[in-house]
C-alpha cells in the first residue's frame, strides 16, 4: 500500500513538473513571419521561379497568368508580441501576435503602403500555414501578399 502511494506521489510530482515546463515553453515561444509581396498580372505570362511552389495556388485563387516577386521580408516576434516586416517599395506589415486556442496563433495584420493602409485584418493560424491576401491594383495587375508562419 505504501509502495503504491509512493508511486502515485512520484507520478503527481513528475506531472506537475511537466506542466510547469510546458507553461514556460509556451510563454517563451516565438513565431517567425515570412512575408512576400507578389505582383500578379496578365502581362507576359511568365512566373518568377522563386514563386513556383505557390504559383498554382495563386493562379487558382486570382486567375492571373504572371506572378512576379515584388518584395518581402521576415520578422521574429514573441507569441504575445508585436513586430514589423519591411516589404520594400514603401510597404510594411505590422503584426500583433497572441496565443489562441489549441496551439494556434491569432495575428492582427496591417499592410501599409505609401502611407495608406491597404489591408487590416485578423487571422488565426497554426505554424506552417499560409495566409494569402489580395491587395491594391498596381502596374496593370494586383499586389498580393503571401505570409507563412514558422
**For residues 137 and 146, what is the distance between their CA atoms, to the nearest angstrom?**
16
Q: Write down the domain spans for the chain.
A: 30-149
Grid cell, residue 62, equals 486570382
Q: Which helix (H) or strand (E) holds 145?
A: strand 141-149
Give the three cell numbers for residue 65. Answer: 497568368
Indicate the pLDDT class of residue 69, thresholds 50, 70 and 90. very high
98-131: pLDDT as tens digits: 999 888 999 999 999 988 999 999 999 998 999 9
Q: Buried (b) or exposed (e) across 57-89, using 16+ Cβ within 10 A? A: ebeeeeebebbbbbbbbbbebebeeebebebee
Q: Is the pLDDT of residue 57 over 50?
A: yes
pLDDT value for 44: 82
Amino acid at each position: 500500500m505504501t509502495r503504491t502511494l509512493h508511486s502515485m506521489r512520484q507520478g503527481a510530482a513528475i506531472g506537475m513538473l511537466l506542466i510547469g515546463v510546458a507553461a514556460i515553453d509556451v510563454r517563451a515561444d516565438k513565431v517567425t513571419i515570412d512575408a512576400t509581396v507578389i505582383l500578379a498580372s496578365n502581362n507576359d505570362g511568365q512566373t518568377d521561379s522563386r514563386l513556383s511552389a505557390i504559383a498554382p495556388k495563386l493562379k487558382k485563387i486570382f486567375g492571373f497568368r504572371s506572378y512576379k516577386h515584388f518584395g518581402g521580408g521576415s520578422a521574429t516576434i514573441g507569441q504575445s508580441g508585436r513586430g514589423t516586416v519591411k516589404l520594400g517599395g514603401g510597404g510594411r506589415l505590422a503584426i500583433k501576435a497572441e496565443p489562441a486556442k489549441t496551439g494556434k496563433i491569432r495575428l492582427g495584420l496591417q499592410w501599409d503602403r505609401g502611407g495608406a493602409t491597404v489591408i487590416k485584418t485578423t487571422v488565426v493560424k497554426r505554424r506552417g500555414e499560409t495566409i494569402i491576401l489580395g491587395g491594391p491594383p498596381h502596374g496593370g495587375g494586383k499586389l498580393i501578399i503571401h505570409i507563412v508562419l514558422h
